[in-house]
């Protein structure tokens, strides 16, 4: 995993660097925002950027905004010493996936990074393609044997058992979610509306998938927070609301009157059924 670390204080940067390297992460460091943007271009690809907010020249917010425009699928975590709610929300609105408030423990930071990295990566199938081919051969062989002996038993024993084993593998390889007018690819981690791709951040994509898998159901903010950000996430529920707002800006004709993602007041959100715009 390659990490871009933007922090102007050497003591903090050194502390973070040591802990990232202990967890087998490659660290690319910058003291100023302009240098971070240049490194992202020359030293890429970068998996996750850790951005301090308070910097001597351009702020971490400005760097976040520029990185998000240039690299929409890069993971971004803001490092902030400020406790004001508006600062956290501002970073999320600019495209950050998460924020960690100083002072933070190494364990918390590493957990946040790993959680975000999991959201960024395609799901890996549990069985190699060669095994899929082998299963197909077993299916074919079993079918021939059945015919040759003229047995009366049908697809209720060995053959369906093999097919049931194989089906989830193929489903994971080709899995797509379709909710008109959207199509979401699990393997490619992409979303299309009317076959036009909508660029989402890793966190936005995970949130969209969660709601599409439960189309028509009301999903609580607490459940979304746990499933998307992780069981031990200690941030604010507003991180959910800000990401929903960002998603609506991308998928809705009128984000202030959403047709697809409905607010369930006092509870959470629901992806509506049978909507086509």
Whether 184 maps to a domain, the answer reads no
- What pTM, to 2 d.p., does this model score? 0.71
Whether 276 maps to a domain, the answer reads no
Say yes or no: 151 and 212 in one domain.
no
Whether 181 maps to a domain, the answer reads no
Say yes or no: 88 and 164 in one domain.
no
Q: How far is CA 62 from CA 3, 47, 72, 102, 214, in A?
A: 18, 19, 15, 19, 35
Write out 247-274 in H/E/C secondary structure: HHHHHCCCCCCCCCEEEECCCEEEECCC
Residue/partner pairs of 96-102 with CB below 8 Å, 24 or more apart: 96/51, 96/64, 96/68, 97/201, 97/202, 97/203, 98/203, 98/229, 98/235, 98/239, 99/235, 99/239, 102/12
Residue 140, classed as helix, strand or coil, is helix
**Tokens of residue 192, six digits:** 């299309």
Whether 179 maps to a domain, the answer reads no
Say yes or no: 92 and 167 in one domain.
no
Whether 182 maps to a domain, the answer reads no
Say yes or no: 134 and 206 in one domain.
no
Last residue of a domain, which of 94, 120, 146?
120
Whether 183 maps to a domain, the answer reads no
Instruction: State the total domains in the chain.
Output: 3
| CATH number of the domain that residue 57 is part of | 3.40.50.2300
Distance CA 224, CA 238 (A): 11
Say yes or no: 141 and 211 in one domain.
no
Q: pLDDT tens digit string along 47-105?
A: 999 999 888 889 999 999 999 999 988 999 998 876 666 777 888 888 899 888 888 88
Largest CA distance in the chain: 82
Say yes or no: 22 and 104 in one domain.
yes
- pLDDT value for 233: 74
Residue 234, classed as helix, strand or coil, is coil
All residue ranges of the chain with pLDDT < 50 are 124-173
Nearest in space to 75 (alpha carbons), one of 43, 102, 45: 45
**Tokens of residue 36, six digits:** 């971070």
Say yes or no: 135 and 113 in one domain.
no
- pLDDT value for 123: 57
- Domain of residue 227 covers 189-271
Say yes or no: 85 and 108 in one domain.
yes
**Tokens of residue 207, six digits:** 């949130």
Say yes or no: 31 and 108 in one domain.
yes
Say yes or no: 158 and 198 in one domain.
no
- pLDDT value for 159: 44
Say yes or no: 89 and 9 in one domain.
yes
């Amino acid at each position: 995993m390659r990490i871009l670390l933007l922090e102007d204080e050497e003591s903090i940067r050194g502390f973070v660097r040591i802990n990232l390297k202990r967890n087998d992460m490659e660290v690319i460091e910058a003291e100023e925002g302009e240098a971070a943007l240049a490194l992202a271009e020359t030293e890429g690809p970068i998996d996750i950027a850790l951005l301090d907010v308070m910097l001597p020249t351009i702020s971490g917010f400005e760097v976040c905004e520029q990185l998000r425009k240039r690299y929409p699928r890069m993971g971004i975590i803001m490092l902030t010493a400020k406790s004001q709610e508006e600062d956290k929300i501002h970073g999320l609105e600019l495209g950050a996936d998460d924020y960690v408030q100083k002072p933070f423990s190494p364990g918390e930071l590493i957990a946040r990074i790993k959680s975000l990295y999991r959201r960024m990566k395609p799901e890996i199938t549990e069985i190699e393609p060669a095994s899929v081919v082998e299963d197909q051969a077993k299916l074919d062989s079993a079918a021939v044997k059945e015919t040759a002996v003229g047995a009366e038993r049908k697809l209720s024993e060995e053959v369906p058992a093999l097919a049931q084993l194989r089906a989830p593998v193929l489903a994971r390889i080709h899995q797509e979610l379709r909710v008109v007018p959207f199509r979401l690819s699990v393997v490619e981690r992409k979303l299309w509306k009317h076959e036009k791709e909508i660029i989402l951040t890793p966190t936005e994509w995970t949130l969209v998938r969660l709601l599409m898998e439960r189309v028509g159901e009301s999903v609580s903010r607490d459940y979304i927070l746990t499933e998307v950000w992780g069981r031990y996430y200690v941030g604010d529920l507003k991180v959910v609301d800000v990401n929903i707002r960002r998603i609506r800006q991308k998928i809705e004709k009128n984000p202030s009157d959403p047709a697809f993602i409905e607010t369930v007041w006092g509870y959470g959100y629901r992806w509506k059924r049978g909507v086509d715009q």
